Homo-oligomer: A and B are copies of this chain.
Amino acid sequence: MSDHPLREFDLHTFLPYRLVAAANRTSRAFAERYRSEFGISIAEWRVLAHLNHAGAVSVRDIEARVDMEKSKVSRAASRLQDAGYITKHVNGGDRRLLELRLTPSGQALVARLLPVAVAYQQEMLERLGDAAPGLIKALDILLRDLPPGNGET
């Protein structure tokens, strides 16, 4: 009859906490490989991966498809441009838009990056074993139901 019932709540069994903690660890381990081997951040990796997949795209496009604020995209793109991995050109049709493109050097970087990414995913799937399909299904639901809301960390 004391005030103890609240004490039963334990962060370690709290699903949102567990999800975020697992994601942070996954992300951090992955980011570490990219940073040490190639000197790029997660934001930059996302821009590169999307450019590789989609060809010439605008900042707005990337913002919409990659769960990043436009200012974050913009700055990541500037860093990539400074490093010579992408170019920015104003779109002829609508001069508010930029066309971001991989340079040959950027394509070469992506070609080295992707195998690392695929390998990391593969390790993850192996760790998960038969829990993998369940995770994928759950992520589908969460990504479908929750608003994009930009943030990353």
Q: What residues make up the interface of A, taking CB atoms closer than 8 Å to B?
A: 3, 6-7, 9-12, 14-30, 46, 49-50, 52-53, 65-67, 107, 110-111, 114, 117-118, 120-121, 124-125, 127-129, 131-139, 141-143, 145-153
Q: Out of B28, B50, B67, B128, which one reaches A142, CB within 8 Å?
A: B128
Bound-complex Cα distance A11 to B143 (A) = 14
Q: Residues of B contacting A153 with CB < 8 Å?
A: 24, 151-153
Q: Out of B3, B6, B131, which one reaches A141, CB within 8 Å?
A: B131
Number of identical protomers: 2
With A25-B146, A25-B148, A146-B26 given, is the CB distance from A49 to B9 under 8 Å? yes
